[in-house]
Homo-oligomer: A and B are copies of this chain.
Amino acid sequence: MKVTIDDVAEKAGVSKTTVSRILNGNFGHNKPETREKVLQVIKELDYQPNALAKGLKQMKTNTIGIILSNLQNSFWISVLEGVEDVCQRNGYSLMICNSNENAQLEEDHIKGLRHRQVDGIIVNATLKNRQLYETFIEENYPLVSINREIYELPIDMVLMNNIKGAKQGVEHLIDLGKMSILLMVYPVEGVSPRIDRIEGYKQALAERGIAFNEENIQIVTEGKGNAKARVMELLSGENKYDAIFSTNNQMTLEILEGIKQLGLQVPADIALLGYDETVWSMHVDPPLTTVKQPAYEMGELAAKRLIQLIESKRKLKPKTVLLEPELIIRKSCGIKEK
């Protein structure tokens, strides 16, 4: 039933060595007629080489793994598409795992992937398995970290410029006359994008000479509904805000809901700035001003780099790529006051 290289060899009246050579680009410079014959038999038998056997022998599977933390966020889907496209163009398969931001799961997946002999891994690291990442480096195992900086480890990374992204956004808000900007962010815990966005926020304030108020930064626990509850609480409290900067697109939707439920208008009563561009950004009410990140490109670059690492004969020096965000201005932050 299953047709193997032996079947092909026998039927073509050659040795399996010859078949193998022809399959893999003809090192031995076979005679054209042998070649023809073998190729024809392969077609006749619809022979598909067994990648497991090949992989076992060559210690290479042409498969890479990716570990993501959240599939529901469309940002990651774009990244995934970028990775997938590059894989496809280069003859690699993609194994996908979801860590859900869970360190144990991340470790299991990493081990699982290596045990399945993938040639390399792209990871949006939880950052909670430092020792594991170090092992990779020691073993010179191809690994690229996306979106999050793994601090002080010589590792390949492709990151977004989050300081600049947040800074641009906040500057825009300030230019529009906003003075009391509420920054909402999911827990930081050493995760560079969140840390950097806070930093960008602070820098913008500092450069424009606006006093920084610690209470204007609110860390909200991840989980459905939390951001909505928090924003409603905050907007009903003592502090007055004229703008909210949401650093996550799911959170943005919740904030919007909370604001509306309070009977407030965006941007008349309060401005709203979102992070990450999505299909719905321009369609919500009001159309959202957002900091757009080149997600697809990040996926592409990470995959390209990983394949480079895999296929390079010698050890490559770790490299960090920083991608630039772009501010997309719509209506949710209002227009310049006179």
Q: Is A257 an interface residue (CB 8 A)?
A: yes
Q: Is A112 an interface residue (CB 8 A)?
A: yes
- Contact A96-B115, Cβ < 8 Å, known A280-B283, A284-B284: no
Residues of B within 8 A of A77 (CB): 71-72, 74, 77
Q: Is A248 an interface residue (CB 8 A)?
A: no
Residues of B within 8 A of A115 (CB): 48-51
Q: Is A211 an interface residue (CB 8 A)?
A: no
Residues of B within 8 A of A250 (CB): 279
Q: Is A93 an interface residue (CB 8 A)?
A: yes
Interface centre among A63, A257, A283, by most chain B C-beta atoms within 10 angstroms, is: A283
Partner of A63, one of B1, B98, B116, B284: B116
Q: Provide the A223-238 mask, 1 if CB < 8 A to any CB of B, else 0.
A: 0000000000000000
Closest approach, in angstroms, between the C-beta of A51 and any C-beta of chain B? 4
Complex Cα distance, B252 from A280, in Å, reads 11
Are B50 and A56 in touch, CB under 8 angstroms? yes
Complex Cα distance, B56 from A116, in Å, reads 12
Residues of B within 8 A of A93 (CB): 95, 97, 112-113, 116
Q: Is A61 an interface residue (CB 8 A)?
A: yes
- Contact A284-B280, Cβ < 8 Å, known A56-B56, A72-B81: yes
- Contact A50-B117, Cβ < 8 Å, known A56-B56, A95-B93: yes
Are B52 and A111 in touch, CB under 8 angstroms? no
Residues of B within 8 A of A276 (CB): none
Are B56 and A53 in touch, CB under 8 angstroms? yes
Partner of A253, one of B84, B117, B279: B279
Partner of A285, one of B63, B74, B114, B284: B284
Residues of B within 8 A of A253 (CB): 279-280, 283
Q: Is A139 an interface residue (CB 8 A)?
A: yes
Closest approach, in angstroms, between the C-beta of A143 and any C-beta of chain B? 16
Tell me which residues from 24 to 66 in chain A have a Cβ below 8 Å from any Cβ of chain B.
Answer: 48-53, 55-56, 61, 63
A contact set with B: CB distance below 8 Å: 1, 48-53, 55-56, 61, 63, 71-72, 74, 77, 80-81, 84-85, 88, 93-98, 111-117, 139, 250, 253, 256-257, 278-280, 282-286
A-B contact pairs, 12 of them (CB 8 A): A49-B115, A51-B115, A52-B56, A74-B74, A77-B77, A84-B96, A88-B97, A88-B98, A93-B95, A93-B113, A278-B280, A280-B280
